[in-house]
Chain A
């Protein structure tokens, strides 16, 4: 299906993604060491985690070439548990 040239490009792409992932690990570590306000550092660290997860899912789990239905299957539970978390904030996190 794939020509040799394309597959060589695919392989290089996988490795490039890995380089980015490694870079982001170090970036996250660097951010925690910087004297940033807590909220900023949290936002940055979790933003980086989101980017990393998105890269793995998009490229390694092939979401970028999947059909809409697979995207929905992956996305709906994520939205659901985040919704659960947000709904419970007044009750569990702030009740005291």
Chain B
């Protein structure tokens, strides 16, 4: 990386690595504060950058690139389901084994390599330091490492497409023993690389999560109390904690699974004394909190955007925080609802069913609070707002259908059908893609200094919204008709023949959904170069990222930030204008003591 002078990054506390470089640090260099690197050079600025904003954009690029692969996989799956064994334009015929591999990779890529880098990696990295008023992440070089670790994981996963016998085909859940022995699928190195790639991804987000937590807890600007954190920061924090606490057993499990495959141990192989059900428990002990790991940040984005475009404070800030903390706690005691008919002890089902259905309570808090925020507002339907409320509208479907599946008695019938597929797409798509796109349209001006085109943005939204619903509403019906998921050719069952046309509708809508992303791509690149200049605060928003330049300089804030109030002070009748930035000091001369007291009371207690 050349003999560049060590930036302030190297001088900050960092665990494990980098001890020798610090050897050159003198105490005078250790002070915190923006010490701009003079000429960092191409590699240090854009590739191995330690600036959280560059890293955030790198995550964004990686996730959108992986989304292309995941989307292509969706295209192949849908085509095969609608018009089985026909020639898929751009690919060829899909074989049964290939089909299984494609669904496996679609799930793996979308969850681990799109959703997580998108809502956690990109938005978390870009926004947490800006929103809490820090000049960078707590451990910038660890941050760089976590991105490049993820990039390595993505490379390994993509490499698995090209090994002999093809990529993993045991489903994204990799249920043992199908995944534990090569003979069952015929896949050899593909599955091994899958395990390695996912394990690397876990390591990457562990590093990232620790960075998020430390940054948001320790590097907050003066006055930025926990109860003044923007909701997105809260959600990223909860997501990081959930990930950190849930992934350990699955890391252990993936070591064991890998050994089963390559060394021939029998942890999950019944005839060697192992137990396949244990893998499912380990997987879902992680898998369910993981849903909230990728889901909550999307909610956070919506909660940032809805107040701004309603010009109203977020309704019930503390209630939401407590609600999402409760959702986080509950997410650790619901995992077995994925396994009601797996052959686990049936007496476990009812307790897990109760906790699962109870989780609708905290989510109801969040949804109702967002609705209540809209009430009485002055709503402006910009593109980010459209994506936010559109995401909310679709999430409601995902939420209520969760009740069907959480009820053990009904899950006996619906488990493993397209009802499940439609349900989790209805929860994850609103939170990851609707939330993510909302965030992208909203923070694009901050990231690139230019506005995105509103017309193209609205075209993108309506295409996405309408097509998305047309894909998955029919799949609910197919699920009710008893259509099992992961079936290569539906016509092999007579009872599915009436449902075939539902799949045709879904596939045509999928084509529309994919085509609907073209305006976004055009808009993204056009606006980056030719968009209208954004200025510091185009949306008149309160949170700290809007009080610095767009894009923010290295070190984020040219002068130290102080925080005086809550993040969502819109439409306050006491204020001269309808917004009050978090860092805007209270009016200088407090004319009457009472008035000053009132102001302090209004801002100091939340």
- Contacting residues of chain A (63-96) with chain B, CB-CB under 8 angstroms: 76-77, 80-81, 83-84, 87-88, 90-92, 95
Bound form: Cα–Cα A91–B276 in Å: 11
Bound form: Cα–Cα A92–B249 in Å: 15
Bound form: Cα–Cα A77–B206 in Å: 14
In the complex, what's the smallest C-beta–C-beta distance from B274 to chain A, in angstroms? Answer: 10
Bound form: Cα–Cα A76–B241 in Å: 11
Is B245 within 8 A of A92, CB to CB? no
Is A91 within 8 A of B277, CB to CB? yes
Bound form: Cα–Cα A92–B285 in Å: 14
Is B285 within 8 A of A84, CB to CB? yes
Size of the B side of the interface (Cβ < 8 Å), in residues, is: 14
Partner of A92, one of B248, B278, B332, B336: B278
- The interface residues of chain A lying within 8 Å CB-to-CB of B281 are 84, 88, 91-92
Q: Does B533 contact A (CB under 8 A)?
A: no
Q: Mark B253-294, 1 if CB is under 8 A from A, else 0.
A: 000000000000000000000010110010001000000000
- The interface residues of chain B lying within 8 Å CB-to-CB of A76 are 245
Q: Which of A87, A88, A91 has the most CB of B within 10 A?
A: A91
Is B248 within 8 A of A77, CB to CB? yes
- The interface residues of chain B lying within 8 Å CB-to-CB of A84 are 249, 281, 285
Bound form: Cα–Cα A2–B16 in Å: 28
Is B332 within 8 A of A91, CB to CB? no
Is B277 within 8 A of A92, CB to CB? yes
- The interface residues of chain B lying within 8 Å CB-to-CB of A91 are 277, 281, 344-345, 348
In the complex, what's the smallest C-beta–C-beta distance from A82 to chain B, in angstroms? Answer: 12
Q: Does B17 contact A (CB under 8 A)?
A: no
Is B245 within 8 A of A80, CB to CB? yes
Is A90 within 8 A of B347, CB to CB? yes
Bound form: Cα–Cα A92–B347 in Å: 14
Bound form: Cα–Cα A77–B347 in Å: 26
Bound form: Cα–Cα A78–B348 in Å: 22
- The interface residues of chain B lying within 8 Å CB-to-CB of A95 are 277, 345
In the complex, what's the smallest C-beta–C-beta distance from A81 to chain B, in angstroms? Answer: 7
Is A77 within 8 A of B345, CB to CB? no
Q: Mark B319-362, 1 if CB is under 8 A from A, else 0.
A: 00000000000001000100000001101100000000000000
Bound form: Cα–Cα A77–B245 in Å: 6
Known contacts A90-B345, A91-B344, A91-B348; is-contact A81 B277 (Cβ 8 Å): no
A81's nearest neighbour on chain B, judged by CB, is B249
- The interface residues of chain A lying within 8 Å CB-to-CB of B249 are 81, 84
In the complex, what's the smallest C-beta–C-beta distance from B576 to chain A, in angstroms? Answer: 39
- Contacting residues of chain A (17-65) with chain B, CB-CB under 8 angstroms: none
In the complex, what's the smallest C-beta–C-beta distance from B344 to chain A, in angstroms? Answer: 5
- The interface residues of chain A lying within 8 Å CB-to-CB of B348 are 87, 90-91
Bound form: Cα–Cα A77–B289 in Å: 14
In the complex, what's the smallest C-beta–C-beta distance from B575 to chain A, in angstroms? Answer: 35
- The interface residues of chain A lying within 8 Å CB-to-CB of B347 are 90
The residues of B with any CB-CB pair to A shorter than 8 Å are: 245, 248-249, 275, 277-278, 281, 285, 332, 336, 344-345, 347-348
Q: Could you name 20 residue pairs across A and B whose Cβ atoms are closer than 8 Å? A: A76-B245, A77-B245, A77-B248, A80-B332, A83-B332, A87-B336, A87-B348, A88-B278, A88-B281, A90-B347, A91-B277, A91-B281, A91-B345, A91-B348, A92-B275, A92-B277, A92-B278, A92-B281, A95-B277, A95-B345
Ranked nearest first, the 4 interchain pairs of A and B with the lowest CB-CB distance are A90-B345, A91-B344, A91-B345, A92-B278
The residues of A with any CB-CB pair to B shorter than 8 Å are: 76-77, 80-81, 83-84, 87-88, 90-92, 95
Given contacts A87-B336, A91-B277, 12 further A-B contacts (CB under 8 A): A76-B245, A77-B245, A83-B332, A84-B281, A84-B285, A87-B348, A90-B347, A91-B344, A91-B345, A92-B275, A92-B278, A95-B277
